[in-house]
């Protein structure tokens, strides 16, 4: 390469860069690096979506012009000087000539595959590209993993034995099939939750385990539950095959098998996709990783974008090590770190950094911001959860009175169960809110139904269905065959057992218990039912027999009991439950409102941002969750807490109650990490 050619290549890159003058140096480097594998580590709030969109635009406008020294056209001194001048002082009128000189094999839209994790993100990418480049940008393959696989399978699935007109089963369809199988196999839904069964099947598919492989894996293991799930999986797979149907996991699984087993199909797509971009790469599972690897095997122009510190979907099969091992998979890869946070104040960025740096398995990053310092992260210890929620209501009220909108606030929590009392508190104080996740109505849980049934009987109700529901909770050995009338009479029941005095004693004891409850407040009734009648012992035994963590059911009991505290009469509590249930059902319609507090899990908060964020119940056993035992689990919990912290733009409150339902709580280790670091720096 002579001096003129070197000048031309350098000027070309600088001239192309003028299109992206609004980007910072690291962002610009990510846009201009087009050839070969690229690992783009995007810290929280670093503008990765902007980089992704501009990178696609650069590929369509200039191809590899910004990342090659190749000079495809004869060049002149005048052209070199023109580009050098343009790079210094861009002239809009001269831009067409600049583009002509700088473009090197611009990618055609259908040669670019951009994978996002949501249809919303895919549509946003297309829309923004169309505004930048015109209608042709709509032909970019901007899609989710599933929608991209559908397009591939519609063309070639017949090569692996399926009909191209296959039906796609959504989650509800799959649950319906599982429920039918459970009935067919006479299995209890409480023991074999359709959601949990599908999660096990999904994990098996992620590991490329066929029903037969899965069955062999668990045969003779002594794990009764897994052996039954293996049979469910076999039946489920057969039903879908007979219906020429694929579930969401099948879409990726069969695409991987198609590409693995059909060289012609694999070669076609490897030639087709010159450039592949994968957003949120830290959330990919094994199947998705295999798919990407197969598609990128041709040109190897693969750019993965994401943040290993925000890998929080382990329950879906995501594996942060996939991103961490990218440079091993592609030794020639370049790595660019987007390390400027544009979202949050300096104090929030620093505090979240204190937390996440305690993870050992991660890329080393120094995320910083040029934003104002802002208020310190406000860590608030309260005596109990009621005080915690009162403080949140008070803070929101004070800000709204000062001119803030409810939409400026978000409340984040580790699990839906812990949020239920705050939902009630917002209802009581007329604070508008929307639940991004459908919080399960605790009053529709079978435990709540048992308690309400006991109270109904204590109030004098004697319906057969009610009596049958609770007569053996705890176990009293009362036979259904003896409860024949639509209205139950204790006297008549005693007659059935007249030759069994021990049964008569049990029946009379039950009657005395119900009579005793009739004069109590709601809270006292539940407490008596748990301790005096023995319902707690029944629940523990139930948990043991159904392989459920006893504490999970105990937490539900505590929550139900706490909700009754303010009610003396059962009718008043029942009326409140009805209103609460109706509010939850209608809540999803409130999204049409413009001003409301967002309530969401930490999982669902990813990708969102709010002026003010409340993280509630930052306690050991809640966050990190009590099920997080191993180091790998704790690290994911810490990543989740980091994600929650980095949703806040201006103000972050972290609440740590000392007590929940008369049980002592410890402050979360993640909060202690913040406080210890701040103390050390004082």
DSSP letter string, 627-681: T--SHHHHHHHHHHHHHHHTTEEEEEEEEEESEETTEE-PBPHHHHHHHHHHHHH
CA dihedral 378, 381, 387, 393 (to 10 degrees): 10
R_g of the chain, CA atoms, integer Å: 30
Phi-psi map region of 430: left, alpha, beta (phi>0 left; psi -120 to 50 alpha):
left
Q: Which of 413, 324, 318 is nearest to 603 (CA)?
A: 413
Listed in sequence order, the residues at least 6 apart from 580 whose beta carbon sits closer than 8 Å to its beta carbon are 423, 424, 427, 441, 443
Half-sphere exposure of 576 (CA within 13 A, CB side): 19
Catalytically annotated residues: 48-49, 279-280, 310, 647
Sheet holding 610-615, edge to edge: 378-382, 648-657, 610-615, 409-413, 597-601, 433-435
Cα separation, 42 vs 37, in Å, equals: 16
Cα separation, 309 vs 613, in Å, equals: 19
Strand residues in 593-637 grouped as ranges (E): 597-601, 610-615
Cα separation, 484 vs 497, in Å, equals: 14
Q: Which of 3, 21, 38, 15 is nearest to 97 (CA)?
A: 15
Question: Strand, helix or coil at 549?
Answer: coil
Contacts 24+ apart (CB under 8 A), 315-321: 315/199, 316/202, 316/283, 316/285, 317/202, 317/203, 317/206, 317/285, 317/286, 317/287, 318/282, 318/283, 318/284, 318/285, 319/284, 319/285, 319/286, 319/289, 320/282, 320/361, 320/362, 320/636, 320/639, 321/361
Cα separation, 359 vs 355, in Å, equals: 8
Could you tell me the end-to-end alpha-carbon distance of the chain, in angstroms, rounded to an integer? Answer: 57
């Amino acid at each position: 390469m002579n001096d003129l050619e070197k000048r031309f290549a350098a000027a070309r890159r600088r001239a192309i860069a003028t299109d992206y003058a609004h980007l910072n140096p690291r962002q610009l480097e990510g846009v201009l690096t087009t050839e070969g594998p690229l690992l783009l580590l995007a810290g929280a709030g670093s503008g990765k979506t902007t980089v992704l969109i501009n990178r696609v635009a650069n590929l369509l406008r200039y191809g590899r012009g910004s990342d090659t020294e190749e000079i495809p056209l004869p060049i002149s001194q005048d052209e070199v000087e023109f580009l050098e001048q343009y790079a210094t002082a861009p002239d809009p009128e001269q831009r067409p000539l600049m583009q002509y000189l700088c473009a090197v094999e611009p990618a055609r839209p259908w040669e670019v595959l951009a994978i996002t994790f949501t249809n919303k993100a895919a549509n946003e990418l297309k829309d923004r590209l169309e505004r930048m480049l015109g209608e042709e940008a709509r032909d970019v393959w901007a899609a989710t993993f599933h929608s991209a696989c559908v397009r591939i399978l519609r063309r070639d699935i017949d090569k692996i034995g399926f009909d191209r007109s296959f039906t796609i089963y959504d989650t509800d369809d799959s649950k319906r099939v599982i429920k039918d199988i459970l009935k067919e196999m006479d299995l209890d839904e409480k023991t074999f939750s359709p959601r949990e069964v599908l999660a096990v099947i999904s994990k098996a598919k992620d590991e490329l385990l066929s029903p037969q492989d899965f069955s062999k894996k668990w045969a003779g293991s002594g794990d009764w539950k897994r052996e039954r799930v293996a049979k469910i999986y076999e039946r489920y797979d057969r039903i879908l095959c007979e219906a020429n149907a694929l579930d969401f996991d099948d879409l990726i699984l069969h695409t991987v098998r198609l590409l693995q087993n059909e060289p012609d199909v694999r070669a076609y797509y490897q030639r087709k996709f010159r450039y592949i971009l994968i957003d949120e790469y830290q959330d990919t599972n094994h199947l998705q990783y295999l798919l990407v690897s197969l598609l990128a095997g041709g040109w190897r122009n693969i750019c993965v974008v994401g943040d290993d510190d925000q890998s929080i979907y382990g329950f879906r099969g995501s594996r942060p090590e996939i991103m961490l091992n990218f440079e091993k998979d592609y030794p020639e890869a370049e790595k660019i770190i987007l390390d400027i946070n544009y979202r949050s104040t300096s104090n929030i960025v620093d505090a979240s950094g204190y937390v996440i740096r305690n993870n050992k398995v991660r890329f080393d990053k120094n995320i910083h911001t040029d934003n104002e310092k802002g208020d310190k992260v406000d860590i608030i210890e309260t005596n109990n959860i009621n005080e915690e929620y009162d403080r949140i209501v008070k803070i929101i009220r004070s800000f709204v009175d000062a001119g803030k909108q409810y939409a400026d606030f978000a409340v984040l929590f580790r699990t839906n169960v812990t949020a239920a009392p705050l939902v009630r508190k917002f209802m009581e104080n007329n604070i508008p809110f929307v639940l991004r996740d459908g919080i399960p109505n605790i009053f529709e849980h079978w435990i709540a139904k048992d308690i309400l049934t006991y109270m109904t009987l204590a109030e004098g109700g004697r319906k057969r269905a009610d009596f049958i529901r609770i007569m053996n909770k705890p176990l009293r050995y009362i036979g259904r065959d003896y409860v024949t009338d639509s209205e139950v009479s204790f006297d008549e029941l005693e007659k059935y057992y007249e030759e069994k005095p021990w049964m008569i004693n049990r029946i009379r004891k039950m009657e005395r218990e119900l009579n005793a409850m009739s004069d109590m407040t709601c809270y006292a009734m539940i407490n008596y039912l748990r301790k005096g009648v023995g319902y707690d012992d029944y629940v523990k035994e139930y948990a043991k027999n159904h392989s459920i963590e006893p504490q999970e059911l105990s937490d539900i009991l505590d929550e139900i009991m706490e909700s009754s505290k303010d009610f003396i009469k059962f009718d008043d509590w029942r009326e409140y439950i009805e209103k609460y249930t109706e509010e939850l059902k209608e809540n999803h319609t409130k999204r049409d409102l413009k001003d409301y507090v967002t309530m969401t899990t930490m999982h669902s908060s990813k990708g969102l941002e709010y002026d003010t964020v409340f993280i509630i119940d930052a306690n050991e056993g809640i966050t990190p969750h009590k099920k997080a035992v191993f180091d790998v689990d704790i690290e994911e919990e810490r990543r989740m807490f980091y994600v929650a912290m980095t949703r806040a733009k201006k103000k972050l409150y972290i609440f740590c109650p000392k007590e929940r339902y008369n049980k002592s709580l410890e402050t979360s280790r993640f909060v202690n990490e913040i406080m210890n670091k701040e103390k050390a720096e004082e």
